[in-house]
Structure 1
């Protein structure tokens, strides 16, 4: 499913679906002891400009591996052993150093207070909608509650009809239990919910009644993990459900505990140990499966991804007239270039095809034809100049999210593909499809860098459809008139090393002088075909409020210009992503916004790899770097369980050409002793199931060893470890505020901001 989900409420760059983790039993060994130690870490504020300031001692124990005749060495592999008392002591010493520096910054306390006020003034927002049995289910973000609630409304999604079904904040007073996902039964009487703790994404399935919120005795373990996600589809009679399942007990070796995801069937009221295998034994080790049912329940679709590189296969099972389950049949394989599929309301299955059309075209096949498949399906919406990001097939209309290099617009068609025009939308905005309501009604979302997110109700069949406002997402209290007055977003183009033009959006106060003195924060991602689109973000508002300029670059590896743009930044072409980011930094200096002493960069997950690569390649370009839950050792990524899912995106050291490309940019191996690097803040979470915490441990150690005097110089290399967090998904609201206060205090101090 290739998603790096947004980091709580606070990510300044996209965290979508990510890189590396070992099986939970091995990965989390010793975590409890380390978490307890970190929770108690206190330190006296450190004057890091003092000549006496030093980093904690870190042992060097060289280890070498040979790949294709090339010897590759590192000094800190011992930090991979999270169960070691020595690693615990080292991490605790690093945490004390980090706290001594960050807590000693004069801006930190006031920034934490300001962030808490901005978040505390937020209004409720609903998302993750599902229409079932004449009811709309949704997740509700309601500050200051730490976790989202599960709510239900009437078929028109009117908030006056809303009631709470499940509040995880009551299940766990610490605020560390989150709802991974949910699925209501066809009759609306029950809802299946995956719950996990501490940001681990290691979820078990619970069943709740929707009339009183009480839990049934059913409990199904290991339906969800960070590697391949998780999914559920109910039977039409609501007496059982199909679900994704990871290996149990001794079914697989420990190294395969988070692989070989398969589909099983659970009948309500029976023990999970008696659940039946359904599908997936022949799928790849790194398969990721998403299940979906047609509205009438007669068809079950399995969307199977081959890791995270964008290859999908689709399997369909249909019921016979007597209600019996038919055989599974393959509608499209990994090689056929289908990216997504959706049941229509007209007896058809619609698909998004990329083969021969890298910007996408929509195809349709009849579900009544037992010989039909997506490979030979009829094209109804041909490829155009815009990228098809997503679509919705309602009763008589197709609505398409058309991506234009970052911003999106919504285009309408008949089900036969006849164009019906584009919905009016603000310039440079993100416009998305949130939910198919009854008939041709849709919930659509809209936002921009300067205008807060809103949900609108739309009758897509109207001759001149006019989106109607709703109160499903109210603008936060800090927004004035629903936005940021006096702020503008302008589009500029950088030039990469190979001459490719790379777009970037610059968010600034109107009248910002181009005098080279602006504190600039540049972000990017560049991977997995994920598009960086305009978003209204609280942390950007805070950054602008204090005189900063915010820049988002649309790098290759993303999907902003289709599959060609994605493939231009993957596998042996990954260096293009880093060249694009460097080109964006150089353009900001050339345009007169800033200088290297006032330029900071930030990214997370795959964007953390980006941070490490551009920092080691062009350290003189930046004053400060914030790298969150990032990948840094590309020689060992595929040895981690989630990292194995990323081989189809990054490549494998087993392939000579891919190994050569990966070694050339692997941040850990490109650090040079004696180099004057920017100040760096690495962040990680002990329960991260997507990127191993030791990635940040090793990179921190290597950077500190390369220039041990950087702490005294005032360019510290710091490691921030969240004891009760993971990759960012499920992070509590309070923990998110604390992390962002640390990040902003670090950036303000380095860029000389008040």
Structure 2
């Protein structure tokens, strides 16, 4: 037997089925207050009886009571699931391996995070020299008793003597910024607060640039709209109140602004956007003349028409990736000593979209997506291809950080059956060597990762990854299948390792990821085909994926579960309303469920680029037609649904999930349960401690497994 088979067999032999796990149909739900709120939109009256559930749980006793009651019912239900102990144990074992981030080198020091396995947060280490002894620099596990305070972004200063980092508390999008002396471990000055959606950009060794919003009114920090973002300069050793505002657009409070600095420290690039679309304006500051001219941002790109992303600079020459006249992106450069000469094309658009670009030594590393899997190529600064970087199979590469002063870079490579391995790469010689490889408790070769293509409703060819145990794939048996999707915001779903999904596959299920329209897998056209008036294409793609899995005998008709988070939670809610017969169970995580009011809170206003404007009739009618909250089919037989959210989610506020669950529970939807699991001290997903991630995954998978017939523990 393989290591995987032995581990699974041992665990299965130790599970005892709870004696009370007999009737798992819908429990008695708590009674939810209904108000008589009715609004008229474009001649149509829309009831909103659960609007009171939009209130912040920290500020409303009624909402807090509702949360407590719902969690009590859900917890009691989940405790009866027979596979829950197995999933909890096995997911924990699969998490328990040492993992590393991609190192960043500055001043001969190498910075990276490393988790021994089950640490709630990953500590940050530094080495003096590549082969130096690792030294603990920051341990976020010491920051909070519940492990819910996380190290977010971090950037060493140019000479490696200091570390600028951000702290995320309870999963919130707000960040606290701090600076550490790398040698002594002491903090420079006080905390910087109210930073959000910010870059971290050093200006020499004297200070840094960051983006922040005005401090919200008391009690509104988790719900108020995010407006008036501005870029500030903080000088080390001074109080935040002395920070200089470098760039803002008070006449356009909806605009966002993020600062970057070039590796040589000469240029500041200020990139502005108005929403989630990759449509930017770019301003440039020449720091070499700051002492005489001040900051003085100068416009480089105006109009918010295309995507512009800085790669780096060499002297007066700036390098960008853009989709200007190239929907799949190309590389351009401009000489700031002679900007009137215009842009020069270095690397033309290819048949695959560019997914990332960096400058290492005198080379460019360009990453592409080829059918949602990574490829990468090395080019000269003149745009000539040098070589392809070889990867092993279908997977995702990331990293490739570096500078024009060094030929060394690092990258990670992962797939559904392979946790990330970190590699060192020399762009001059093409030599690759392992920096850190995981020691795992299963054999990757026991699992098969395939990519198949299916036709959507309108004939569009859509790719889908399918992961199964090798013995199941060889037998052709139909098994319970978990189908995951997102389909929005130009975001690509690429292969990556997940301990929880691996546990599902080990237990005998199949895991599928559909690369729906609305994502970025095939560039701008693929994104455009799945947003605003075309949003129904996303739902059709997902429904067609489910039908394909059944038709191909990968899953039985009563064995399909679906899952998605955020925009993917919206996806789950919408397709369940449209095809409740197709799915046995679903998990809608931190979803956007009220499409008529999503723009009322925090970052929701940004999403109009993908969804449209609820205050415009044409958009409103499209949103009204698929909004999960407003299209529940009373009297239909619904799949078992577990809605998951968190009280500190200030990206998609939990009121979306609260209202949606209350509406589900108020209708006649058959015998299967419609439950909500509400995490405390957690947000939209990032920064979640390992123990909470394991517990949540065990709850979700045991729920989905029960209703799809996965026979774990039985």
TM-score, normalized by length of structure 1?
0.87
| Deviation string, structure 1 residues 245-301 (Cα, Å, up to 9, x no partner) | 2103779x9886632110112222222122221101347433333322122212111
Corresponding position of 2:680: 723
How far is the alpha carbon of 1:574 from its aligned partner? Answer: 1.1
Please identify, of 308-317 and 620-629, the stretch whose mean Cα deviation from structure 2 is larger: 308-317
Pick the aligned partner of 2:470 from 493, 505, 510: 510
- 1:62-211, aligned counterparts within 5 Å? 62-81=36-55, 82=57, 83-120=59-96, 122-127=97-102, 129-154=103-128, 156=130, 158=131, 160-211=132-183
Structure 2 unaligned runs (5+)?
A: 1-17
> Aligned pair in 2 of structure 1 residues 51, 350: CA closer, same or farther (>3 Å)?
closer
Of 261, 275, 286, which residue of structure 1 is paired with 2:243?
275
After TM superposition, give the deviation of residue 675 of structure 1 in Å: 1.3
**Is 2:693 the partner of 1:736?**
yes
1:350 to partner: Cα distance: 1.3
* CA distance in structure 1 between the partners assigned to 2:650 and 2:118 by the alignment: 26
Residues 308-707 of structure 1: pairs in structure 2 closer than 5 A: 308-321=276-289, 323-324=291-292, 325-345=294-314, 347-369=316-338, 371=340, 376-436=342-402, 438-462=405-429, 465-471=430-436, 474-480=437-443, 484-512=444-472, 517-707=478-668
Q: Which residue of 2 aligns with 1:36?
A: none
Deviations 1:309-330 (A, max 9, x none): 2212221100245844352112
Give the equivalent residue in structure 1 for 2:209: 242
User: How far 1:358 moved relative to its partner?
Assistant: 0.8
2 CA distance for matches of 1:46 and 1:605?
34
Structure 1 partner of 2:254: 286
Summarize deviations over 1:153-194 as a string: whole Å, max 9, x none.
Answer: 3454x4x43212111112323312111212222332222222
- Give per-residue Cα distances to partners, 1:194-248, cap 9 Å, x unaligned: 2131111322222211112112332221123xxxx12232222x22222212103
Q: Deviations over 1:372-392 (max 9, x none)?
A: 6xxx41111001111111111
Distance 1:280 1:326, change over 3 A: closer
2:10: which partner in 1?
none
* Contact 1:653–1:659, Cα closer than 8 Å, also in 2: yes
Deviation at 1:61, TM superposition (A): 2.1
CA contact (8 A) 1:260 1:283 kept: no
Residues in 1 aligned to 2:495 and 2:252: alpha-carbon distance in whole angstroms = 35
Q: Secondary structure at the match of 1:452?
A: strand
After superposition, the C-alpha distances for 1:360-403 in whole angstroms (9 at most, x for unaligned) are 1111112433556xxx4111100111111111122221111111
- The equivalent residue for 1:6 is none
* 1:465-515 Cα shifts (integer Å, max 9, x gaps): 2321112xx3242233xxx12211222222112111111111122343676
Q: Report the equivalent of 1:4.
A: none
User: Is 623-632 or 262-271 further displaced after alignment?
Assistant: 262-271
Task: Give the match's secondary structure for 1:720.
Answer: strand
Change (3 A) 1:99 1:256: closer
Alignment-derived partner of residue 39 in structure 1: none
The structure-2 alpha-carbon separation of the partners of 1:77 and 1:533, relative to structure 1 and needing over 3 Å to count, comes to same
Q: Secondary structure at the match of 1:208?
A: strand
Distance 1:118 1:47, change over 3 A: closer
Q: Secondary structure at the match of 2:581?
A: helix
- Give unmatched runs, 5+ long, in structure 1: 1-43
CA separation of 1:436 and 1:155: change in aligned 2, threshold 3 A: farther
Q: 1:257 to 1:359 in 2, by over 3 A?
A: closer
TM-score, length-scaled by structure 2: 0.92
Alpha carbons 2:273, 2:304 under 8 Å: kept: no
Taking the aligned partners of 2:114 and 2:303, their CA distance within structure 1 comes to 36
Tell me the secondary structure at the aligned position of residue 558 of structure 2.
helix
Q: Does the aligned pair in 2 maintain the 1:320–1:326 contact within 8 Å?
A: no
C-alpha distance in 2 between matches for 1:485 and 1:189? 43
Residue 189 of structure 2: SS of its match in structure 1? strand
CA contact (8 A) 1:392 1:436 kept: yes
User: Quick one: distance in 1 between partners of 2:476 and 2:264?
Assistant: 62
Task: Judge conservation of contact 2:323–2:329 (CA < 8 Å) in 1.
Answer: yes
Equivalence for 1:265: 233
**Measured at CA, do residues 678 and 268 of structure 1 come closer, stay the same or move farther in structure 2, by a change above 3 Å?**
same
Whole-Å Cα distance in 1 between the matches of residues 290 and 235 of structure 2?
20
Q: Count residues in correspondence.
A: 688
Bigger mean CA deviation after superposition, 500-509 or 173-182: 173-182
Give the 3 Å change call, closer, same or farther, for CA 86–319 of structure 1 in structure 2: closer
1:86 deviates by: 2.2
Contact 1:126 1:141 (C-alpha < 8 Å) held by counterparts: no
Q: Which residue of 1 aligns with 2:273?
A: 305
Question: 1:567, 1:50 → 2: CA distance?
Answer: 42
- In terms of mean alpha carbon deviation, does 445-454 or 582-591 score higher? 445-454
Bigger CA drift: 625-634 or 205-214? 205-214
Point out the more displaced range, 500-509 or 362-371. Answer: 362-371
Q: Matched residue of 1:479: which SS?
A: coil
Partner of 1:35: none
Within 2, Cα distance between the matches of 1:367 and 1:439? Answer: 24
Using CA pairs below 8 Å that are at least 6 residues apart, which structure has the higher relative contact order? 1
Alpha carbons of structure 1 residues 478 and 171: separation in structure 2 relative to 1, 3 Å: same
User: What's the offset of the Cα at 1:699?
Assistant: 0.9
Structure 2 contact 312–358 (Cα < 8 Å) conserved: no
Determine helix, strand or coil for the equivalent of 1:95.
helix
SS at match of 2:168: strand
| Kept after mapping to 1: 8 A contact 2:98/2:114 | no
Q: Distance in 2 between matches of 1:164 and 1:369?
A: 47
Q: C-alpha distance in 1, partners of 2:590/2:505?
A: 25
CA distance in 2, matches of 1:285, 1:326: 21
Report the secondary structure of 1:470's partner residue.
Answer: strand
